[in-house]
C-alpha cells in the first residue's frame, strides 16, 4: 500500500493536503484558549498549533501571500483566507473579536 503522506512533488503535496484537510468548519474551535487582554502568549501558541494542524500556518505567520485578483487561484485563496479569519475571530473574546471583525485579511 502506498503511503498517503509521502510527498514527492507539488501534485502529491496537493493530493495529501486535500486528503487531510477534510471539510472546513468555520465554527469549529479546537482550543479553549480565547484571546483576552492578559493571555496573548498562551493564545498565540494555541493558534499556531491549531493552524499548523489544519495546514494553514502561512495565513498567520505571513508566509502565505495575497494573490492578484487576476490570478486563477485568487478565489480559492480568498475563500481560505476568510475561513482563517473566522477561525481567528472564534479564538477571541467577543469584545476583542469586534475590533478585528472588519479586517480584510
In tens digits, the chain (105 residues) has pLDDT values of: 544 444 343 444 444 444 445 555 656 656 778 999 999 999 999 988 888 888 888 887 878 888 888 889 889 888 888 888 888 898 899 999 999 998 887
Q: Is residue 13 part of a domain?
A: no
Q: Is residue 21 part of a domain?
A: no
C-alpha cell at 98: 469586534
Q: Is residue 75 part of a domain?
A: yes
Q: Is residue 36 part of a domain?
A: yes
Overall number of domains in the chain: 1
Confidence (pTM): 0.67
Q: Contact 91/60 with Cβ under 8 angstroms? A: no
Q: Is residue 3 part of a domain?
A: no
Residue 69: Cβ within 10 Å count: 8
| C-alpha 15: how far from chain center | 18
| Domain region containing 68 | 27-100
Amino acid at each position: 500500500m502506498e503511503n498517503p503522506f509521502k510527498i514527492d512533488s507539488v501534485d502529491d503535496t496537493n493530493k495529501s493536503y486535500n486528503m487531510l484537510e477534510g471539510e472546513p468548519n468555520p465554527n469549529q474551535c479546537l482550543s479553549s484558549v480565547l484571546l483576552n487582554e492578559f493571555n496573548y502568549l498562551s493564545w498565540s501558541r494555541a493558534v499556531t498549533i491549531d493552524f499548523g494542524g489544519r495546514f494553514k500556518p502561512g495565513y498567520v505567520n505571513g508566509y502565505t501571500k495575497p494573490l492578484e485578483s487576476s490570478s486563477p487561484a485568487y478565489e480559492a485563496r480568498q475563500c481560505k483566507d476568510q475561513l482563517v479569519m473566522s477561525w481567528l475571530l472564534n479564538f477571541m473574546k467577543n469584545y476583542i473579536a469586534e475590533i478585528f471583525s472588519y479586517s480584510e485579511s
